[in-house]
Structure 1
Amino acid sequence: MFARLGRMVAHHPWRVIGVWIIAAIAVIALAPKLASTADESSFLPSHYESIQAQKLQESAFPQHAAPAAIIVLERGDKGALTAADSSTVTQIAGRLRAAAVPDVTSLDVGPASPNKLIQTIGVQMPTENDPQQKAQTDAVKALRTQLQSALAGTDLRGGITGTAAQNLDSQDSGNKADAIIGIATIGLILVLLLIIFRSPIIALLPIITIGLVSQVADGLIAWASNTFDLKTDSSVTSLLIVVLFGVGTDYILFFMFRYRERLRAGDSPREAVAVAVERAGEAIASAAGAVIVAFMALALSTLGLFRSLGPSLAIAVAVTLLAGLTLIPAIVALLGTRVFWPSKAWKTEPRAARFAAIGASMGRRPARFAAISGIVMVALAIAAFSFKPTFDLSSGSTNSTAESTVWQNELLRGEPAGATQPTQVYLKSDSGSPLTADELASYRTKLTAVPGVGSVSAALPNPAGTVAAYQVTLTANPASSDAMNTLKGPLRATAHGAAPAGTSALVGGITAIYVDIQAAVDHDYAVVFPVAAILITIILGLVLRALVAPLYLMASVGLGFGATLGATVLLFQNSGGNKGLIFMLPVIMYMFVVALGTDYNILMITRLREEARAGRSPRAAAAEAVKHAGPTIAAAGLILAGSFASLMLAGQSTLTQMGFAISAGIAVAAFVMAMFFTPALTALIGHAAWWPGHADSASGHGEPSASSGEPEESEPAGQLRR
């Protein structure tokens, strides 16, 4: 299959390029815009209590939802508010109402805080027919302008926080982050490819081609999201940039190394392209297949966030794979040896002395290499057991100077931490008869007595009197572990247990959503992780035609995952002062570290098998594999790890944690696991690694395999040293 594909691309490059251009134009012109949301409730299925409470609120209290935004006001000198100041707050609310900002349905002035430092105005906005919160964020933009105008000439200062304001700031921060990440990723790829190949053409090749591919991928993902109603988090677009450019550049490297090798062997440029596609195709397709399978396993998640993230990234990798096997080779077939201009180094084989020395040392002492690399990963993995999740996506996707963050902190000067996003408890009559005043008052008293509850509002009955709403303000920050423990422990227990006979209760609000997300994530750990591992193991078994090797390769990848999570916990949680790490980090790390770690393992182990088929002993084969495949894995790992590290420049805690974790995971996979642990372990296990077959034997297998994807003779490290 890959031989036929290689010949087709090499002999008809203009047709291949034409098809890509036509497809890109069609997708860009017809595909909808890829939109994202920071509304955590949209990620949960309907059977969770927080979502059922939200639906009850929408039906029973359509005009009394929690404020979409909160205007926070204080004195300019941060002193206590006077009666005149409170009167000014009322006047400001009147001016904002008179401004008639679209999609603002009401502005409700609250009382001054008990210590008189803060006063708020609750802003109600519609949620129906606004799935991406665009109307709300536009309204916040207009309100912010009007608010500063209304504050002019007064002794007060203020700003807007709350869910809608956080969504707006998250979008603005995300747009800036995408620009920073894109520039950093492209810059890194340019520099590293220039160092490796000394050719501006090769350096620009992935930038131009993947820029086109990314437009196709974005369009296909947007179509899939609309068709299957997938909810996309704002961090997905940042990850897409890195996945497309990082993984795409890796696949280009695998092809270019093989292409350069065939030129050195005497092939014409088009013959070299055809053979390079044939020999690198299986490895690239197998590696991409492992990544796609890992990402698609997220479709089994109960969270809409992961169900959209997995297919989105899988589509991006699939399009990148297709480009790596068709578009890139077609362009190279047209350019021929000019692709290396102005360098002539492609004609000369470097010695790769450093990797030869490492390989020779490993061949002599594989147990020492396996033990040292294994101990390093185990030591880091121990710290993973202290991982604590945090569930506040909105604050994690903004920086500390964003208006919503600044004024949420100011709000805490006068109100309990839970005042920013209070919890709602709904008491419902099961028989349809009205709730009595005594029942409502008694129930409120019991809620107030719950530890961790700061205050409980008076009951607000619906017009029929069959449902009553209580606004519960927790003493802890709504996104904190303390608030979540209060809600899933004593508050929900009391709300359900203290409900009068013939009634039932539901607990809703953002903290309840976080609690339910945690339950959903725990479910996903038990389902997604094993399914992804089993499917990738099957792919490894098919590629290697063995049972033993895939098992210890997956075990090593799992150890690499634990080491990566442990390193992230040590840096950000234990040393960085964070109370927890973003809840989706282990799942995203698992997908990237397992999938991409498997990529590098495939490259190393197939090269090792190739050397064994040439008649070398297991230890000698491991030494040669490190010598020849090591530089390729090092170059690819450096580019991919560096690409993901660019996420740390975004200025958002969520992307900073993701960037470090994924880049560290790739570094561990490339420079510890694939470079040392896997070949050393394979050398120790010997022929038994290929049981029940004899994949390492030349007899019965024809010619040595050329599917490893890395060059037999040409190594980037040689270029780096020269």
Structure 2
Amino acid sequence: MFARLARFVVRHPWWTIVAWLVAAVLIIAFSPKLTTESDQGDFLPSKYESVQAMKVAEQAFPQQEDTSSLIVVKRSDGQPLTAQDTAKVNAAAKSLNAHKPPTVLNFATGAQAVAPNKAVQVIMVPMKGTSQADSEKQGDAVKQIRKDLPTLLKDGGLEAKVGGDVAGFVDNEDSFNKSFEIVGIATFVLIIGLILLIFRAPLAAVLPIIVIMVTMQVAMGLIGAASKVFGFSGDDSLSTIILIVLFGIGADYYLFLMFRFRERLRAGDDKKTAMITAVERVGEVISSAAAAIAVTFLVLLLATFGVFSAWGPALAISVVTMGITSLTLFPALVSLLGTAVFWPSKAWKKQPKERISGAIGRGVGRRPVVAALASGLVMIVLALGALGFKADYDFAAGFPQDTESAQATKDMEKGFPPGLTTPVQVFLKSENGRPIGKAQIAEFSQKAKDAPGVGRVQPAVPGKDGTVVRVDLVLKTNPVSNESISLVKDKLSPAVHQIEPSGTRAYVGGQTAVFADINAVNNRDLSVILPVAAVLIAVILALLLRSLIAPLYLVIAVLLGFASTLGSAVYVFQYGQGEAGVIFQLPIILYLFVLAIGTDYNILMTARLREEAKEGHDPKKAAALAVQHGGPTVAAAGLILAGTFSVMMLAPVSMLKQMGFSVAIGIALSAFVMSTFLVPGLTAMLGHRAWWPGHGDEPKKKPVHPADTREDFIPSGYRG
């Protein structure tokens, strides 16, 4: 199949290129755009209590804020606030209310907003709006408030800082933009630089960048069309993830193809024959790798968390699109360019010395048991770190702490519990349709003060018809810390339900409760996704290798790589840097970029092991040659992909640093430990048994020598 495809593409390159471009233009021009959501809570299934609480809130409090900021006022000299100071703050809030921005619902303060120790007074600033345009208006409102405050509080010895979610976004927007700018530029520079270093040819370095960028536009068009047909949406991060995935696998497949193309040119093939042979040899590898990754992504459809289930089809479409591009457009373009793609370098003509890969290959071939045990032991030790994994939901802690919003939070905590900015929202709903009595509300509020982790109970707020009442519980600890999330899930929610007034039902909501439910959903999803993905990858490998044994240890190796990567992150960030945990999305990110994409290298190396065995080499020799000839391809691809992610560590945001380090180390383990030592070592150890029950390692039948067909050598009884 791949031979026929290769012959058509290489012999008709212009037809291939024109057909591809026409299809791309039609898809990009006429496909609808993918719709996105930004609120993580919107992706939770409706059976979770935090989602039910949101539904109750939407009906009973149509004017409830969607987000909020707060103004923290203190004396410049650090002394307690006086009655005169409080009066001035109240007057400032009244003045702000008189000219409030459109997105601001209210500037609320009063006696209850003065800290018991008089250290600070808070003005709450609830805001409405969830769209991108609303977010921009909210940011503008924060900037205007900061501009007005000095005038309103002048000559009083008071100073104010604006904090909260919106203010934090305003302050950290530059950090994020600079981070992505740094990462984007560094990624392009790194990919081009490394391919330049490998091929010493500008055209060879720029070509994949252009093709992958166009492929992404085609993929996004197809995803948009599919989203309308199948009714799924993505979150704001999906386009970034697709970009990273396409650059990762696109660079891999390009290198798989180019290394084989160069190998055949060095063997004396002309440019068209070299490309046909290259596509024929790596076509099965690329298609199997793309199928394995696409299936791995489609398994995300089993996730109950809507973000992940939406990622599944989108990423699968992207991978399949890139696979098709790699087997059609790349070969067509390179076959047209021929050896000019390597200009001005002449290195493509020279046989590589392969000193390093040759030495490693000989070592693995001579001592496969040592190679397998040593590499396996390294990965097991790293994997043990995953047992200490703790999820971290505190995004704010990962941003620079010298901003006004960060300082406002620190000032606020001098007088109030940390949970003031993000209270646990309890909605009491009448079950008989009658308004909830004041005595019941007062009794509940009094009992709630003694609930686990509660530092303060805010005044109750009745809904529009009195059948729903909101009571905010302020936690003593950081509301988005792992400690608080576990507290709400395991202790506070059960305690609230025990004290709910007769005839009512309590719904525990708010951001901490949402994260608690996300935590439960993530644990459930990973427990389902990982085993199913492992089985499906094993099936694809079994079809590729015609074996039942090799897929078993390959899948175990991939899962071990996943655990090793997560363990490495735990060792570095939790134990090494003393952080509360690693970002809660990290396991699923590693699933996407390490477990899925890292499978590429195993498939390439295993295919090369089988190829060398078919050439008639014994298992140890086949392992040595596979590492010698396939190792440079895996090393180059792994270096580029790991390097691409490692540039994220330049960002001043902890979340991006953790993602960059973890994925880079995971790809490095996949390329330089698993595919170079563990898999060849195990295959050489098992020998012919690795390919049971098939005959994937059976040597090819050598062509019959012409002399053997002469009439002199045919017995007389068999002559025509």
| TM-score between both structures, scaled by the size of structure 1 | 0.91
Shift of 1:330: 2.1
1:39 is matched with which residue? Answer: 39
Deviates more, 1:136-145 or 1:568-577: 136-145
Tell me by how many angstroms 1:61 deviates.
2.0
Residues 73, 118 of structure 1: 8 Å contact kept: yes
The structure-2 alpha-carbon separation of the partners of 1:113 and 1:686, relative to structure 1 and needing over 3 Å to count, comes to: same
Which residue in 2 is equivalent to 1:138? 137
- Asked whether the 8 Å contact 2:245–2:593 carries over to 1, the reply is no
SS at match of 2:456: strand
Q: Which stretch of structure 1 is more off in the superposition, 562-571 or 458-467?
A: 458-467
Q: Which residue of 1 aligns with 2:717?
A: none
Count of aligned pairs: 699
- One-letter code of the match for 1:145? Q
The equivalent of 1:58 in structure 2 is 58
* Max Rg structure: 2
Residue 681 of structure 1 deviates from its aligned partner by 0.8
In structure 2, give the amino acid aligned to 1:387: F
1:6 — aligned with what? 6
Q: Is the 8 A contact 2:601 2:670 kept in 1?
A: yes
Pairing 1:125–2:127 present:
yes
Q: Per the alignment, in what secondary structure is the counterpart of residue 579 of structure 1? A: coil
Instruction: Sort the Cα spacing of 1:451 and 1:351 in 2 relative to 1 into closer, same or farther, 3 A.
Output: same
Task: Show the counterpart of 1:363.
Answer: 365
Q: CA deviation at 1:360?
A: 1.5
- The answer to whether the 8 A contact 1:133-1:164 is kept is no
Q: 2:329 maps to what in 1?
A: 327
Greater RCO (CA < 8 Å, at least 6 residues apart): 1
- In the alignment, the residues of structure 1 paired with residue 479 and residue 83 of structure 2 have an alpha-carbon distance, to the nearest angstrom, of 30
Change (3 A) 1:511 1:105: same
1:349 is aligned to 351
Question: Which residue in the other structure is 1:499 paired with?
Answer: 500
Give per-residue Cα distances to partners, 1:249-275, cap 9 Å, x unaligned. 111111111211222233332333233
Q: Does the 8 A contact of 2:385 with 2:568 survive in 1?
A: yes
**Alpha-carbon distance, 1:665 to partner:** 0.7
1:559 positional shift? 1.4
- CA–CA distance in structure 2, aligned partners of residues 521 and 276 of structure 1: 42
* 1:291 partner amino acid: I
Q: Distance in 2 between matches of 1:351 and 1:376?
A: 29
Instruction: For residue 107 of structure 2, give the secondary structure of its aligned residue in structure 1.
Output: strand
Overall identity of the aligned pairs, in %: 47
The letter of the residue matching 2:676 is M
> Is 1:487–2:488 an aligned residue pair?
yes
Q: Quote the residue 1:543 is aligned against.
A: 544
Q: Is the 8 A contact 2:451 2:496 kept in 1?
A: no
Q: Hey, what's the Cα distance between the residues in 2 that align with 1:402 and 1:229?
A: 41
Aligned CA distance change for structure 1 residues 16 and 82 (closer, same or farther; 3 Å): farther
What amino acid sits opposite 1:373 in the alignment? S
3-state SS in 2 of match to 1:478: coil
Contact 2:66/2:128 (8 A) holds in 1: no
Per the alignment, residue 512 of structure 1 pairs with: 513
Contact 1:246 1:644 in 2 (8 A): no
Cα gap change, 1:36/1:68 in structure 2, threshold over 3 Å: closer, same or farther? Answer: farther
> 2:375 matched to which residue of 1?
373
Q: CA deviation at 1:100?
A: 4.4
Cα distance in 1, alignment partners of residues 254 and 381 from structure 2: 35
CA distance in 1, matches of 2:99, 2:465: 34
Is the CA contact 2:32–2:224 (under 8 Å) kept in the aligned structure 1? yes
1:452-487 C-alpha deviation (Å, 9 max, x unpaired): 100112333334332222110010111112212321
Identify the residue that residue 102 of structure 2 maps to in structure 1: 102
State the alpha-carbon separation in 2 of the partners of residues 559 and 349 from structure 1.
36
CA contact (8 A) 2:71 2:124 kept: yes
Report the equivalent of 2:470. Answer: 469
Letter in 2 for 1:55: K
Residues 424 and 508 of structure 2 are in contact (CA less than 8 Å); yes or no, is this contact kept in structure 1?
yes
Change (3 A) 1:433 1:571: same
**1:216 to 1:558, Cα distance in 2 relative to 1, 3 A:** same
Residues 121, 134 of structure 1: alpha-carbon distance in 2 compared, 3 angstrom cutoff: farther
Does structure 2 conserve the Cα–Cα contact (< 8 Å) formed by 1:137 and 1:167? no
Report what 2:666 is aligned to: 665
CA change 1:124–1:102 in 2 (3 A) is same
1:192 corresponds to: 194
- Mapped to 2, the partners of 1:408 and 1:213 lie a distance apart of 45
Q: Distance in 2 between matches of 1:465 and 1:94?
A: 27
Determine if contact 2:34/2:233 at 8 Å carries over to the other structure: no
Q: CA deviation at 1:610?
A: 1.2
Change (3 A) 1:699 1:349: closer
Name the structure 2 match of 1:449: 450
Distance 2:546 2:579 in 1: 46
> Match of 1:715?
none
Deviation at 1:307, TM superposition (A): 1.8
Q: Name the CA shift for 1:541/1:564 in 2 (closer, same or farther; >3 Å).
A: same
Match of 1:639 in 2: 640
- The verdict on how the C-alpha distance between 1:391 and 1:698 changes in structure 2, with shifts beyond 3 A counting, is same
Matching residue's letter, 2:263: E
Q: Distance in 2 between matches of 1:581 and 1:701?
A: 56
Offset of residue 631 of structure 1:
1.2
What amino acid sits opposite 2:661 in the alignment? F
Alpha-carbon distance in structure 2 between the residues aligned to 1:230 and 1:78: 53
Unaligned ranges ≥5, structure 1: 704-722
Pick closer, same or farther for the CA change 1:607–1:64 going to 2, 3 Å: closer
Which residue number in structure 1 is paired with residue 314 of structure 2?
A: 312
Give me the whole-angstrom Cα distance separating, in 2, the residues matched to 1:229 and 1:508.
Answer: 27
* Two-structure CA RMSD over aligned residues (Å): 2.6
2:171 and 2:29 map into 1 onto residues whose CA distance is: 29
Using a 3 Å threshold, how does the CA distance of structure 1 residues 11 and 92 change in structure 2: closer, same or farther?
farther
Residue aligning to 2:653: 652
Cα displacement (A) at 1:27: 4.9
Structure 1 position 562, deviation (Å): 1.6
8 Å CA contact 1:411–1:420 kept in 2: the answer is no
Distance 1:72 1:300 in 2: 45
CA offset digits 1:2-27 (Å, max 9, x no partner): 22322232233333333444444455
Q: Which residue of 1 aligns with 2:713?
A: none
Instruction: Name the stretch that deviates more: 25-34 or 411-420.
Output: 25-34
Q: Do the aligned partners of residues 177 and 220 (structure 1) sit closer, same or farther apart at CA in structure 2, a change above 3 Å counting?
A: farther
Q: Which amino acid aligns with 2:564?
A: A
Residue 231 (structure 1) shift: 5.5
Partners in 2 of 1:86 and 1:32 — Cα distance?
A: 55
Cα–Cα, structure 1 residues 61 and 700, in superposed 2: closer, same or farther, change >3 Å?
A: farther
1:149 matched residue in structure 2: 148
CA contact (8 A) 2:645 2:661 kept: yes
Match of 1:713 in 2: none
For 1:479 and 1:159, the matched residues in 2 are separated by: 21
| Distance in 2 of aligned mates of 1:25 and 1:158 | 54
Contact 1:92 1:151 in 2 (8 A): no
State the 1:645 CA deviation: 1.3
Show the counterpart of 2:118. Answer: 116
Per the TM alignment, residue 501 of structure 1 is displaced from its structure 2 partner at its CA by 2.8
In the superposition, the TM-score normalised over structure 2's length comes to 0.91
